[in-house]
Amino acid sequence: MENEKIVLRLGGLAGILAFIVWIVELPLFGFVDPFTPEGLVRFPDVRAALGMSTILMMTIAFLSIALVLALYRALRGTNMAFALFGSVLGVIGYIATALGDASTFFAFAPISVLHQAPAATPETQATVVLLWQATQGITITFFFVGSLFTIMCFIVLGVAMLRAPAFGRRFGGVSIVLGVIGVVGVVASLFVTGESGFQLMGVAVFANIILLPLFGWKVYSLSRGPRSPKT
């Protein structure tokens, strides 16, 4: 029992901390955004800030995994199948997101070096621009898979919460509704090209920003005393 409380406490704190890191990260990413048309040219000037942004994003991903595992621990007693399936989706999704975060920096950096090289001819730079765009596609694929899996995770876990006395219909309903909204945004991004499509995936990001502190606080509260009656 004590071990379970420790898991819930740490997982809950991880969710709350992930939310705090998100608040710091959002304006930073808006400043360094490498997916804009000027991203390749600006990269040397924002390299350090983008590196910090990448570290923060990967931190969010791993903190979120800790929360998902704590949710599995809290829900497995009432709905094992949905708790397990939802947590697996979440872990895969956040790992894919972390890979996308890493590739944003480590894949773009050498391409920027080629573009800024003193010996680079206009023809070479034109080729590098195409390479930059192709690499963006790979990185965005990681973000697409990560966003889809993580938001589906909260839909499935929301279903599990409906039957869990500690969560009930309110938490389960909020998780499902925000999850569905996030899925709509991610799927809609398939049909919109360019930066607008990437921004549609941001719907899943904002759903995460709401759900992380909400469930972080709830899971942490479960570690402090008996579970509340079903609402």
Give the DSSP per-residue string, 60-116.
Answer: HHHHHHHHHHHHHHHHTTT-HHHHHHHHHHHHHHHHHHHHHHHHHHHTHHHHHHHHH
Residue-wise pLDDT tens digits, 172-185: 999 999 999 999 99
Does residue 216 form part of some domain? yes
Residue 35, pLDDT > 50, answer yes
Does residue 127 form part of some domain? yes
**How far is it, in rounded angstroms, from Cα 114 to Cα 137?**
19
Does residue 228 form part of some domain? no
Residue 188, domain extent: 2-222
Residue-wise pLDDT tens digits, 118-168: 887 888 888 888 888 888 888 888 989 999 999 999 999 999 999 899 898
pLDDT for residue 227: 45
**How far is it, in rounded angstroms, from Cα 9 to Cα 3?**
10
What's the domain count of the chain?
1
Residue-wise pLDDT tens digits, 53-107: 889 999 999 999 999 999 999 999 888 999 999 999 999 999 999 998 888 888 8
Question: Residue 228's pLDDT band (boundaries 50, 70, 90)?
Answer: very low
Question: Residue 231's pLDDT band (boundaries 50, 70, 90)?
Answer: very low
Does residue 26 form part of some domain? yes
Does residue 231 form part of some domain? no
pTM of the model: 0.87
